[in-house]
A and B are shown apart, each in its own frame.
Chain A
């Protein structure tokens, strides 16, 4: 309660709403992520008192976590890597005229996820933080492996197409400078390829441009169906949400866990989606516009994004890129993160935690009142919105690395995305591999270096062993499920 009294000054409250608003803008624009947004606005806050500054910066962060979902649902263009999984069901919902519902569900789930994570931070901060210290490369690889596996068996597409798509993602992720040895890989002497392929470029092209090409082929009918656009939709959706409590709890656990162990929001959202698909009764309908498919990744990414701040405060280890930028801010204000922060800078720490509660409530209010406005965007005719989306995609692609070449890649990825979608090649595994490929590879190689090439390192203790076991279970689940079904079928004489 002490914290609230620190934060609840009019000045801080105004900063809070400004921060949330800027965060949403940053989250909506592809290419300008939470990390970039916080980094760009960091200098503005140097003149403020540290508590006000961190309130504003963390509110930008919340805003970005909420805002990333908006373009995913409306245009199939994820504004942030962690909203990629939201597009899988969010965009089909928007196409069916249920954009308002999808947005409400996503915002509410985001709020729920973040809230649970904050409560967790408040009560068990220092104890849980120790757990993160136990994570080494093998554990990291096991987590990535689990993410891939919980994704692999879920596709309806031909298995070899899933394989090719995922491996293409890995190959593209490998382009550029090898992080372990520093050698150049797959660049073929082109300096343009030195940077490698940023997943955001691929995502913007595959999803954004690819989608425009597809809707163009079907004539000028961008599926901007008139949705009911009022607050009633919000209330109606709220009534439906409690039904998905099981998914909510699972996703929150995944999110909190991956946030504390610096897995981050992106794998958390993919994993939550995969697991929700597995466990849901409507799992087979995922990808066609299931409310549950929006809820799962959104809860997970926000609870991960929020709990990522815990190791940063308690240990000085940032759990996400944005948390790393915030950490930089703390150091500039002369605050040394770590266990001592809780003792020496009580006002600051509890102020920050209080601002998490209030910032999330502010975000929820702000985005929910804007739902009708966002959904109205869908009614703009296609021949206006299509070129505008292309322009926004181009700007987003450019700002990732300030490189013109990336805009061309985006167009190429757009053509690839169009062809792949028409031929039933799944895009999700490709993007997943591209996003996590580098991190997974370096974790794998570091563990191999530690164990000197012994694969048993992935079973060397209970923690890593159980994650790996879970991953293998997820990988072979379709096979196991079939065996179980067959066993049951035999038991019951027809």
Chain B
């Protein structure tokens, strides 16, 4: 947090300032959407009390006001700590290395169901990022999926998504 102002940054990346500004813009856009949508719905007092949009309208308005204030505060960041980074490229790459596979994992649930997808995800993560041996990774992936399966399908009888191609159909689930 306490980065020295004059030092040269060790690595490049997205600056704190642009991240502040982008997030403030996004929250503003969100707030504006809420305001417009609530206004259309009716944000007044009807004879029977507040209309459906009354409460969200002011909530949205406050988001907009707060976002403007945050945007202005974000503009000032450069003057204070010009080199402060939001995230370095290297850090960002590592974050993407978790986030992108997680998205593939969720997409995989549609295809092969949550159990098989979980097995592949855990094993893949361990092999690619943890440098574990394939056999060990598969074993742990299988163990976790199996435990989940027992807990949800058998004990609690909560059905989790099996996907379009249910590989587990041979066990009767």
Contact = CB atoms under 8 A, between A and B. Distances in A.
Closest 10 CB pairs of A and B: A383-B130, A164-B66, A387-B125, A160-B69, A217-B91, A178-B52, A163-B66, A183-B52, A387-B122, A174-B56
A361 interface: no
A220 interface: yes
Contacts of B105: 390-391, 394
Interface stretch (B2-10, B150-158, B165-173): B150-158
A204 to B, nearest CB: 13
B75 interface: no
A193 B126 CA distance: 35
Contacts of B95: 213, 216-217, 418
A382 B132 CA distance: 12
A387 B127 CA distance: 12
A183 B94 contact: no
6 contacts: A37-B156, A164-B66, A216-B95, A217-B87, A391-B118, A418-B95
B60 A158 contact: no
A276 to B, nearest CB: 26
B59 interface: yes
Interface residues of A, number: 63
Contacts of A37: 156
B97 interface: yes
A398 B161 contact: yes
B134 interface: no
Given A216-B95, A219-B94, A399-B160, A25 B56 contact: no
Decide if the interface of chain A is mainly helix, strand, loop or mixed.
helix
A384 B140 CA distance: 8
A174 B55 contact: yes
A381 interface: yes
A388 B41 contact: no
A453 B51 CA distance: 12
Interface string A158-185: 1011011001101100100010110101
A407 B109 contact: yes
Interface stretch (A7-15, A308-316, A441-449): A441-449
Given A381-B130, A395-B152, A404-B161, A419 B53 contact: no
A287 to B, nearest CB: 14
B20 A415 contact: no
A209 B103 CA distance: 12
A167 B129 contact: no
B86 A174 contact: no
Interface of B: 16, 19-20, 23, 27, 30-31, 33-34, 37-38, 41, 45, 48-53, 55-56, 59-60, 62-63, 65-67, 69-70, 73, 86-87, 91-92, 94-95, 97-99, 102-103, 105-106, 109-110, 114, 118, 121-122, 125-126, 129-132, 140, 144, 148, 151-152, 156-161
A164 B56 contact: no
A394 B114 contact: yes
A423 B157 CA distance: 42
Contacts of A418: 95
B120 to A, nearest CB: 10
Interface of A: 25, 29, 32, 37, 40, 158, 160-161, 163-164, 167-168, 170-171, 174, 178, 180-181, 183, 185-186, 188, 209, 212-213, 216-220, 381-384, 386-388, 390-391, 394-395, 398-399, 402, 404, 407-408, 411, 414-415, 418-420, 422-423, 425, 441, 444-445, 448-449, 452-453
B91 A218 contact: yes
A180 B60 CA distance: 19
B65 to A, nearest CB: 8
B114 A395 contact: yes
B129 A183 contact: no
Contacts of B106: 394, 407-408, 411
A253 B130 CA distance: 48
A40 B157 contact: yes
B122 A183 contact: no
Given A160-B73, A161-B70, A167-B62, A423 B19 contact: yes
Contact of B66 (A161, A216, A387): A161
A55 to B, nearest CB: 20
Nearest to A174: B56
B63 A168 contact: yes
B144 A388 contact: yes
Contacts of B69: 160
